[in-house]
Amino acid sequence: MDRSSIRVGFVHDGPLSSEQRVAYDWCRDALPTVETVSLDRLRYVDGGFDALWWHRGEPFDDTDWIADHRPAIEAYLADGGGLLLTLRALEAVPALGIDPVAPDAAGQEWLGEPTGVLAKSLYADHPVFAGFDDLRIHTRGPEVEVPFARYERILPARADVLASTVRGGRDLPKAVSLVSWGSGSVLGLGAAVSFAHATEAGHATRRGDLVRNALAFLADREPPATARGRPKTPEELGTLRDALADDPHRPAYHFAPPANWLNDPNGLIEWDGRYHLFYQYNPGGPYHHTIHWGHAVSDDLVHWTDEPVALTPSSDGPDRDGCWSGCAVDDDGTPTVLYTGGRDRVQLPCLATAADGDLRTWEKHPGNPVIEDLPSDIDLLSTEHWAAEFRDHSIWRDGDVWYQIIGSGVDGVGGAALLYRSRDLREWEYVGPALVGDREGAGSVWECPELLDFGDRQLLHVSNYDEVQYFLGTLDADEPAFAVETRGRLDYGDFYAPQSLRDDDGRYLTWGWLYEARPERAQWDAGWSGMLSLPRHLSLSADGQLQQRPVPELETLRAERLASYDGTLAPTDPDPLSVRGDALELRAEVRLDGADEFGLVVRASPTGRERTAVRLTDEELVVDRSASSFDPESAADDQRMPLPETSGPVEVRAFVDRSVVEVFVDERRCLTGRIYPTRPDSERVSAYASGGEATVESLDVWRLASIR
């Protein structure tokens, strides 16, 4: 719609305040047809306005009276009108029936720096951002106290987030300032658009352009495909994937979120012959906050289909601030999840059951949380964020008794795995700490504990903020006590918070979160963050050692064998591969013999200045990232994994997937590294030996197909 023809109704609920008066005067100068309209007159508005703008800087004494005007607003919107709510008018959304969740942060704030909106890159083409060539749009000058309303600890239940907040040179992704409801019929812009105080001309121009864009968009109502309310259906989530498809760092065959944020895998279960993957997901943007449960399903462990978001925080529940990590079990034919609900500084276990066979709809237990009191016999660690570190669950059944382990920490001692038991998954009895670690050796808090039963021995792994440690031994559930025989690391790289399922064939299949190794600003600009590892089969070898190997189903991705080589490789020999690609599997069986080192170089530029090397010596495997990116902020340290002595060949399997290298050695040890090449031609692959000759018994390279 031509901006010169927009007709705007400037809504007020009494005499215009000074803030409203200045905003109205601006609007009269900026748009040709503007008229004040009181809430009491809305019922008589019969299409005379293309958009309504309710701008309010004062707090509401209460909002009950606003409900009287709800029918008029609903009728106006149903007739094709658009509504812009700015500053504290955003607090009226529950009373107007727009969203049950109001902004949780509102009042007056002092701006010491220029402030504005931090646009999501996914929506950079949204008409509200027309004319801006930067995601960071400063709209309000400093040294002033202004009104605001934002979503900070929570998200609206029905809206899509278009922008957060930028202050000076700092991104504040958790301070959500611009949201959109429905197909764009309502916009809420709660901060950095005050008019009553003078501001620098550039800020005033950007503020005016943003508001003018918003009103023009509401009058036109033609949002881009990626911004039609919060995406819910598989098709809508697929649209988000399509919008990010050209990102050179998005994986081809590792699972990544449709957009926004992913961390821990959750609720893994095989149900009715299909694999269900749930994961920590923030629909608000690519940052860790306001966690929901994303959902995907697969028939083959390789190709995944997005499903609607499974768990959403309840505005009045113990999980208001997030549905944190948990697991899934089969409770006599009912899929059931136990997860950690967070509210304020309290974390407690919550339960939900599937309401359909596709595991799309979940009903939360009305008695949540299912554990209300913390253990009193130990001093659980309290931190800045939580009154007690007490979260994440691993559940199994022994006869008629359910057991679960919850991650925690003992103040001044170290991480702890706390054991509980139950007859019905709803009433839980605390048994005691199954294992308490040493703070120096195993960390102060254990997250995402998981116990896997291999018969005579059990494996307990925990995530301690830095790494994933595992303990092999035996659990006495009555004592309780876990007798540790051996311990180690599950992965030596960018891998965290793994979770497993036991499939119908009895295999333990494990996924881990592959977190980003680039700055948060780069993640915001990319529009997504995080991916999952390839599924790994965990087992014990004949000598009782932990084995990890990629599941054989991944071999179906081998689209083309690019190279095959065997022979003696000397330092002076030319590269035996001559391969290019950014989505590959490499498998080598090598004897170092006289060589000091055998290496595979991947994601290399034509000159080799940008490259990542996987280096094998007789003592360690190294993912050398010293030259992996020309972007200095995405450069990363080398990653090292010690190796045991061996007299035979060493098998190295490396999966290269654009921004990740996932390496398996002898089906026992793993190292996963994130890399961010900048050049589109950094695709060369080569092999070398240094310090002497290496015997390459086999070396194969495959191009792997995309799972999309």
In what helix (H) or strand (E) does residue 663 lie, and over which residues does it extend? strand 660-665
Of the residues 50, 160, 171, 264, only one is catalytic, namely: 264
C-alpha atoms less than 13 angstroms from C-alpha of 61 in its C-beta half-sphere: 2
Element (H, E) at 526: helix 520-526
**Token duo for residue 260:** 């926004």
CA–CA gap between residue 664 and residue 587 (Å, rounded): 9
* Residue type (1 letter), 15: P
What 3-state DSSP class applies to 460? strand
Contact indicator for 595, 689 with CB cutoff of 8 Å: yes
**Amino acid letter for position 622:** V
| Beta strands in 213-301, from DSSP E residues, in sequence order | 260-271, 274-282, 292-298
> Hey, which bits of 122-248 come out as E strands?
136-140, 144-150, 160-167, 170-172, 178-181, 186-189
The residue with tokens 């098709």 is: 235
Could you check whether the bond before residue 147 is cis, i.e. omega within 30 degrees of 0?
no
Rounded to 5 degrees, φ, ψ at 46 are -120, 50
What's the CA gap between 439 and 134, in Å, rounded? Answer: 45
How many Cα atoms occupy the beta-carbon half-sphere of 511 within 13 Å?
29
Catalytic residue at 264? yes
Determine the length of the chain: 708
The answer to whether the beta carbons of residues 441 and 450 sit under 8 Å apart is: no
Please confirm whether the linkage preceding 480 is cis (ω < 30° from 0): yes
Candidates 144, 230, 133, 141; CA nearest to 180 is 230
Nearest alpha-carbon partner for 263 in 244, 242, 286, 279: 279
**Residue keyed to tokens 């987030």:** 161
Which residues are catalytically annotated? 264
